[in-house]
């Protein structure tokens, strides 16, 4: 049975199993260090669509996720004080900006024939680094970073072959372009749901 890529349940699973949400993935690809353009083992996502159409669909879904998380945090009064799990709503947006910029840098490097400068470190340390880098910024500035990263992703990822292996952290598994788009979209939507729950709790207090 195929995954429903637009379902809330799938998005929630992505946050609890995805390293960007604080948990590691144990799957490792067979490759030599530095060999980013290797074939990624196929995953079970059968859409019946041509690769180009499938990727356009995923890009549109990611565009929507980016727009929704930015709107949700921007609408919050004092987003730096709204608690969302271990962070604030503003911290959550900074976390997303940090990883989205990394994604954008990696696909841009691959398109331009360079080896990506992949993030190195533990997930907790990288997540904390991303949050702390955004704490002095306004929500508008963080949102601008996400939008610029999304524009780079949209421009570059359509140029990558379907079997391109995209890294996101040294020592972790690689993702094909379509896998990476779907994974990031799920990660953002899961954070969106947590922000929305926090907003509902504040209104009910």
pTM over 0.85: no
Cα-Cα-Cα-Cα torsion 113, 37, 126, 4, nearest 10 degrees, comes to: 120
Mean pLDDT by 10 residues, the chain (205 residues): 33 47 34 40 43 85 98 96 96 98 98 96 96 97 98 96 94 94 96 97 87
Q: Which listed CATH number (1.20.120.450, 3.40.50.460, 3.10.580.10, 3.30.2310.20) goes with 49-204?
A: 1.20.120.450
Closest CA to 20 of 198, 199, 183: 183
Say what the pLDDT of residue 51 is.
55
Q: From CA 24, how far away is CA 18, in angstroms rounded?
A: 6
Q: From CA 189, how far away is CA 64, in angstroms rounded?
A: 9
Say what the pLDDT of residue 204 is.
87
Say what the pLDDT of residue 196 is.
97
Quick check: 143 and 74 in contact, CB under 8 A? yes
Q: Which helix (H) or strand (E) holds 88?
A: strand 87-88
Place of tokens 């969302």: 84
Q: Which helix (H) or strand (E) holds 180?
A: helix 177-204
Say what the pLDDT of residue 35 is.
43
Q: From CA 93, how far away is CA 142, in angstroms rounded?
A: 7
Q: Could you read off the pLDDT of 83-115 as tens digits, one per residue?
A: 999 999 999 999 999 999 999 999 999 999 999
Task: Parse the chain into domains and list their residue ranges.
Answer: 49-204
Say what the pLDDT of residue 21 is.
52
Say what the pLDDT of residue 12 is.
42
């Amino acid at each position: 049975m195929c995954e429903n890529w637009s379902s809330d349940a799938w998005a929630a699973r992505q946050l609890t199993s995805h390293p960007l949400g604080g948990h590691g993935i144990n799957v490792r690809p067979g490759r030599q260090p530095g060999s980013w353009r290797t074939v990624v083992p196929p995953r079970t996502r059968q859409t019946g669509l041509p690769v180009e159409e499938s990727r356009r669909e995923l890009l549109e879904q990611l565009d929507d996720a980016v727009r929704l998380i930015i709107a949700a945090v921007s609408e919050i009064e004092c987003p730096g004080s709204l608690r969302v799990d271990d962070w604030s709503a503003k911290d959550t947006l900074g976390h997303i900006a940090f990883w989205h910029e990394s994604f954008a840098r990696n696909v841009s490097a691959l398109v331009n024939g360079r080896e990506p400068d992949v993030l190195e470190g533990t997930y907790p340390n990288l997540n904390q680094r991303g949050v702390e880098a955004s704490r002095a910024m306004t929500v508008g500035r963080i949102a601008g970073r996400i939008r610029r990263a999304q524009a780079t992703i949209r421009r570059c990822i359509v140029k990558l072959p379907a079997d391109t292996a995209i890294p996101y952290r040294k020592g972790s598994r690689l993702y094909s372009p379509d896998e990476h788009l779907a994974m990031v979209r799920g990660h953002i939507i899961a954070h969106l749901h947590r922000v929305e729950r926090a907003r509902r709790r504040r209104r009910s207090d």
